[in-house]
Amino acid sequence: MSDTTGPVVFIGLGAMGFGMGVSLLRAGLDVCGIDRDASRMASFAEKGGRIAADEVAVREALSRASVAILVVVNAAQTEEVLFGPGGIAVQLPDGAVVVSCATFAPEHAIDFEARLAGRGLLYLDAPISGGAVKAAEGRLSIMASGRPEAFAAARGALDAMAETVFELGDAAGPGSAMKIVNQLLAGVHIAATAEALTFGVGQGIEVARMVDVISRCAGTSWMFENRGPFIAAGDYRPHSAVEIFVKDLGIVAEAAEKGALSVPMAQAALARFNAARDAGLGREGDVAVAKIYAREGRLALPGVPENDEESGG
């Protein structure tokens, strides 16, 4: 890891961001955490991080930052943080690098890079993958693209947060493109996991038994092994929410339509996630898509009784 990385401002201390911020602290970096949720900032301070709880503190932190890492939800939130009222683009010093980790279409990354360059700032298109556990361990995969100077400026932070940094090009765009390929597969595999496990329940097999067996057979996938235990435990907490895959598979569908491509598997998975959201499950874990299958088949899942119609939104 580079020992020249200066102060870091970290914006977005949610399920993924908190672990990433703590990984930076563990690597010895000077990190100031910012989040709309005061309790998250308090927890970050307990881990040894600095926090900026008011506008004056935010301005001071940004004025001395060499790296700003954004772990927000989508392009609209990234736009707001960068260029909205009080946006960081006018507060960061010349030469600072913005590391953007949200999932959105590549054209947004290209636009953000160009606009920041006009202000003397660097931009790294750097979507993340791996989940909250790997984020906390500093073992994420980062799909990154940007100018060599942006990689150099962010290197210490990247190495602290990631097990693997894929360098996918010298301009923004390819990082985001690769991430939506990943999300196509991830969304399909989660929906397939939910479908397979509820199908198995209909065949009289216990969920935990299926997870144990299939995880060691050819039909497994990383998502099956990661998400299957949640369904087996009746754990529908939002480790990653249904609404995230409504968004991400929606991006895939829009990109495919623009390219005149057919993505029927992604469309089918998106329909399942849309059904879960419409049933009030949008803020539950993405595995809550299994509840849709279970309701349709009048099946009971662990923690979810047969014919359960309770809203989870």
Q: Which of 156, 172, 188 delimits the end of a domain?
A: 172
Residues 165 and 109 in one domain: yes
Q: What is the pLDDT along the chain (313 residues), one digit of tens a residue?
A: 344 578 999 999 998 999 999 999 999 999 999 999 999 999 999 999 999 989 999 999 999 999 999 999 999 999 999 999 999 999 999 999 999 999 999 999 999 999 999 999 999 999 999 988 999 999 999 999 999 999 999 999 999 999 999 999 999 999 999 999 999 999 999 999 999 999 999 999 999 999 999 999 999 999 999 999 999 999 999 989 999 999 999 999 999 999 999 999 999 999 999 999 999 999 999 999 999 999 999 999 999 876 666 544 3
Q: Which of 131, 149, 172 delimits the end of a domain?
A: 172
Q: Are 306 and 265 in contact (CB under 8 A)?
A: no
Domain with 79 in it:
8-172
Residues 68 and 181 in one domain: no
CATH number assigned to the domain comprising residue 198: 1.10.1040.10
Residues 260 and 115 in one domain: no
Residue 49 in any domain: the answer is: yes
> For 114-158, how does the pLDDT look when each residue is reduced to its tens digit (9 = 90+)?
999 999 999 999 999 998 899 999 999 999 999 999 999 999 999
134, 179, 247, 291: which is the annotated catalytic residue? Answer: 179
> For 262-289, how does the pLDDT look when each residue is reduced to its tens digit (9 = 90+)?
999 999 999 999 999 999 999 999 999 9
Residues 52 and 161 in one domain: yes
Residues 208 and 146 in one domain: no
CATH number assigned to the domain comprising residue 124: 3.40.50.720
Residues 89 and 164 in one domain: yes
Residues 166 and 32 in one domain: yes
Residue 231 in any domain: the answer is: yes
Residue 70 in any domain: the answer is: yes
Residues 231 and 281 in one domain: yes
Residues 45 and 167 in one domain: yes
Residue 167 in any domain: the answer is: yes
258 in active site: no
Residues 144 and 193 in one domain: no
Q: Which of 141, 172, 203 delimits the end of a domain?
A: 172
Residue 72 in any domain: the answer is: yes
Q: What angle do CA 289, 227, 128 make, to 5 degrees?
A: 100
Q: How many domains does the structure of the chain reveal? A: 2
Residue 307 in any domain: the answer is: no
Residues 215 and 257 in one domain: yes
Residues 158 and 183 in one domain: no
Residue 163 in any domain: the answer is: yes
Residue 308 in any domain: the answer is: no
